[in-house]
A and B are shown apart, each in its own frame.
Chain A
Amino acid sequence: MTDTPLDFGDPADLDRLRREFRAWLAEHPLPERQSGEPVPVFLRRWHRLLHSGGWVGLDVPERYGGRGLTALHQVAISDELGACRAPGVPRIGYLAHALLEFGSEEQRLRFLPPMLAGDEVWCQGFSEPGAGSDLAGMSTFAARHDGFYIVRGQKLWTSYAQYSGLCLLLARTDRAVPAHKSISAFVLPLDRPGVTVRPLRAANGDDEFCELFLDDVRLEESERIGVEGVGWALAMTTVSYERNALDTGHISKYGLLVERLRRHAAEHQGSLPDGLLSRIGRCVVDYEVLVAHARRRTAERLAGQVAGPESSVDKLLMTRTEQRLYDTALEVFPAELSGVGGELFGDYLYSRAASVYGGTSQIQRNIIAKRILHLPSNG
């Protein structure tokens, strides 16, 4: 973490991009979610529309379907989406980074453009029934044969697998060496024989996550990402991007609700119950802090810092923002609690998952203590 001045981008340049984006939005009205349309399906329509305007993967090189700009441009758009009351940006940043960093040139050219375009949807097959926080304890095994692998095991909590075509899969490729050296990463097409996807109902009623059963699934050697045993490093890169609010597109989602709260505050300033104005103010602060933090991280990255354990700080801040925000929103819009509201209560329930997915809050604290503060281990 740098203690010298940081470049947060050229405001004129970023403003130009924002104006360009707003002009585009004015001509491309936001899609409406149809009744009964599952959220992922709706978001995919939105993803494709955004991509058609060139608003996805701004910081991805052009030859892979991006725009070759900087991550600061992506922050500006994410920010703008929230302010324009639009749905969030597609959550592909962390997957794209995994491929950019570990994929072969052939894989990058094959997979990144359709990922950015929303033509191929990915999910993430890391967790297992017996390996959640302790990811290294996974038991899914990919047995190597001549030029291919046979994979057997079970994955759990795989978000949106039922809407996805491809899965970033982690499996052990060697039982003889320690976990951190024996995990490899693969691209698994979910229509491959032997793959069964079974949706699980979430607390908010959505069918977000799934169980994945892998019964002797054949994967080609060319479907392995990076060399054998690099899966752990790839997973760590993926989760460090996944823990940054910018890469996951959460900033715009929060921005949308923060704006809604502020409009309510402006309209009902005189009649708000005691303390509620302060709580709305607190949400504004949390949100702005998160945006400033994402900008700082981005500026540090552009200055050459690689994503590392500090993403655990990002994740905890993101969790703080989300959980306080939705909790406050229910105070501001009590009708949501009686069931006559919209989607807010479901989102509130989902905010409780923020401290679980992507590594629980306790695990983030462990990482900070060990890898940033270098505190001693027990015993």
Chain B
Amino acid sequence: MDREEFVLVRDMVRSLATRFGVTSADEVKPSTRTAAQQALDDMGLADLRRTSPPAATAQECALLAEEHGRHPLTTSLLGTVLLAPELLRLLGADTSPGTPTIALTRELRLPGETPTDLVAWDSEGADSALCVTAEGTVTRVELGPAAPSADLVRSVRAVPPDAPVETVGRLAPPDRLRWQSYALVVVTAELVGAAGSLVEQAVEYARFRRQYGQAIGSFQAVQHLLADATVLVEACTSVTRYAAWCLDNEPPERALTAARVAKAEVNSSALEAVYAGTQVFGGIAQTWEHIAHLYLRKVRLGATLLATTDELLAALAVPEVTR
């Protein structure tokens, strides 16, 4: 996409937020989810990664995921628009019926060699889910009933254990790496957006909330808390954007390392930034009505999604490629 086109698409995602972003957990209902997803689907973004070569670069997709994460949106941009179409593109499966999302293990990790006990992750508007095994086989599974999720704005469905499994194709090893890295980056980008947005909201709040006769944002302790949170968000932003660029420009092994680094950084730093943000809001952020916990839930869950910090750090400590 050229830059203007990208800005246009990003603004479309942004406009979704003004119309469909929830203002409290109470508004997260099946009917509001459906309406929001319908509006997203009408934008036709599922083609961004569906064609070969793709219409949007991985970097552009990551920026869209980041934008999506900034808002309390109930839409499944990641699952149905970015991740599943990418998988079909890598498979070269040009004609594929319906709107699939992605299946993960119940612990929300990438499945092993013989996956069992799956959930369809980010399933709003989806009618099936695609599962990639550790050796690259892609299967299509049916969706069961809604499953609970700590991330209240994210729709998750169970996958019936006895439902028939249809094999869609097989990813060659480099493509499996590409897919895995892309999934890590897209998920990570959404968390960066969420953390960045909550910190910005806290900064805004600190400007007008008054105690002791002055804005709390004038206290150095509060300023330093927000400054540190800003540094963490910037670190997350840099590392994720660079990892996304690597997907477009570097060989798969390097892209995977960059994606792992990004996820490891974001797992801890985005969460810490959200903690700082909620601290600045004081008591109000501890209520059900305030949206701070929607961000906290997303980022806390996101920190274990796909790969935990411990797993990543152990893998990154040992050099995998020697020059």
Contacts and interface: CB of A to CB of B under 8 A. Distances in A.
A373 B60 contact: no
B220 A277 contact: no
Contacts of B91: none
B218 A281 contact: no
Interface stretch (B20-28, B145-153, B161-169, B234-242): B234-242
A366 B235 contact: no
B231 A289 contact: no
A306 interface: no
Given A293-B238, A376-B218, A262 B317 contact: yes
Nearest to A368: B227
6 contacts: A4-B6, A5-B6, A281-B314, A288-B258, A320-B231, A375-B206
A266 interface: yes
Interface string B288-323: 000000000000000000000010111111110001
Contacts of A338: none
Name the 5 nearest CB pairs between A and B, nearest first. Answer: A281-B313, A369-B223, A292-B242, A293-B238, A281-B317
Point out which of B217, B219, B316 has the most chain A C-beta atoms below 10 A from its C-beta: B316
Given A277-B313, A376-B207, 8 more contacts: A3-B67, A4-B7, A5-B3, A279-B313, A280-B313, A289-B265, A373-B203, A375-B223
B59 interface: yes
Given A317-B235, A375-B206, A5 B59 contact: yes
Contact of A368 (B7, B231, B243, B258): B231
A305 interface: no
A5 B319 CA distance: 30
B241 A296 contact: yes
A375 B218 contact: yes
B230 interface: yes
B224 interface: yes
Contacts of B239: 288-289, 292-293
A293 B235 contact: yes
B275 interface: no
A259 B321 CA distance: 12
Interface residues of A, number: 50
A366 B220 contact: yes
Contacts of A34: none
Nearest to A295: B242
Contacts of B67: 3
Contacts of A362: 224
B89 to A, nearest CB: 19
A293 B258 CA distance: 12
B286 interface: no
A313 B235 CA distance: 9
Nearest to B249: A11
Interface residues of B, number: 54
Contacts of A379: 214, 218
A6 B214 CA distance: 40
Interface of A: 1, 3-6, 8, 11, 83, 259, 261-263, 265-266, 269, 277-282, 284-285, 288-289, 292-293, 295-297, 310, 313, 316-317, 320, 362, 364-366, 368-370, 372-379
B230 A313 contact: yes
A265 B226 contact: no
B257 to A, nearest CB: 8
Point out which of A266, A281, A377 has the most chain B C-beta atoms below 10 A from its C-beta: A281
B60 A369 contact: no
A30 B223 CA distance: 46
Given A11-B250, A313-B231, A317-B231, A296 B238 contact: yes
A83 to B, nearest CB: 6
Contacts of B214: 376, 378-379
B264 interface: yes
A325 to B, nearest CB: 13
Contacts of B235: 289, 293, 317
A2 to B, nearest CB: 10
A375 B203 contact: yes
Contacts of B6: 4-5
A269 B318 CA distance: 8
A82 to B, nearest CB: 12
B241 A265 contact: no
Nearest to B228: A365
Nearest to B263: A285
Contacts of B201: none
Given A266-B319, A317-B235, A369 B227 contact: yes
Contacts of A285: 261, 264-265, 312-313, 316
B281 interface: no
A368 B220 CA distance: 11
A8 B242 contact: yes
A317 B230 CA distance: 11
B230 A375 contact: no
B316 A281 contact: yes
A262 B319 contact: yes
Interface in B198-217: 203, 206-207, 214-215, 217
Nearest to A364: B227
Contacts of A1: 234, 237
A375 B226 contact: yes
